[in-house]
Amino acid sequence: MQCREASELVSLRLDVALPPTAEQSLQEHLGECQGCHWEADALARLDLLLSEAPRVSPAPQFAGRVMARIHRRRRWMAVWRGGVVLVLGMIIMAALCLVPLAHPASPVADVLNSPSLVSTLVGVLVRIANLAATLMGAARLVGEAFVGSSGHLFLAGLMALAAGLALIWLRLVGRASMAVGKTS
C-alpha cells in the first residue's frame, strides 16, 4: 500500500466508512510505516478533540434576522434615492414656479403684456410637466420601498403631489389674472 492510499483510508476510518477488508491492510501499513502511523495518531487525537468541543449553533431566528436586515437596508437605499430625486425635483419645481413670479419683471407678467413671450411660458410648463413625471417616479420608488408591493403610500404621495401641483398652479393663475386686472 502506498502512503497516499493509507492517508485516504485513515480519513475514511475516522468517518466510520472504512470496509473491514481495508482496515486489515491499513493496519499492516501503519505497523510498517512510521510516518503514516504518526499521521493516523495525530488525526485521531484531533478528531477526538473536535468531537468533545461544544457545538455552537446559531440562534433559531439568526438567518431570518440577517435577511430582514438586508431587506431593510435595500428598502432604505431605495427610499434615500427616491427622496433625493423628490427633494431635488421639488426645489427645481419651486424655482421654476415661484422665482419668476416673485420678480417684478416676471415672465408671467411679461407674457401677458407681450404675446411673443408665450413660448417662454409654454417651455416652463413643459419643463414642469416633465419634472412632475420624474417626481411621480421618485414618489413611487419611495412608496414601494415603504409598503412593498401594496401601493397605499404611493397613492397618498401621489395625492399630496397632485395637491401641491394644484396649489402651485392656482398661485400661477392667480398672479396671472391679477396681472391681467392691472394691465386692463
Q: Binding Zn ion by CB under 5 A: which of 22, 33, 96, 117?
A: 33
> In the bound complex, what is the minimum distance in angstroms from residue 70's beta carbon to Zn ion?
49
In degrees rounded to 5, what are phi and psi of residue 60? -55, -35
Of 6 and 109, which CB lies nearer to Zn ion in the complex structure? 6
Q: Is 3 in the site for Zn ion (CB under 5 A)?
A: yes
Nearer to Zn ion, 33 or 136 (CB): 33
CB of 26 closer than 8 Å to CB of 10 = yes
Min CB(6)–Zn ion separation in Å: 5
DSSP 55: P
Minimum separation from the CB atom of position 14 to Zn ion (A) = 16
Residue 36 is a binding residue for Zn ion (CB under 5 A): yes
CB 74 within 8 A of CB 41: no
For 29, 50, 93, 123, the CA distances from 3, given in Å and listed in that order, are: 8, 25, 79, 85
Binding site for Zn ion (CB under 5 A): 3, 6, 33, 36
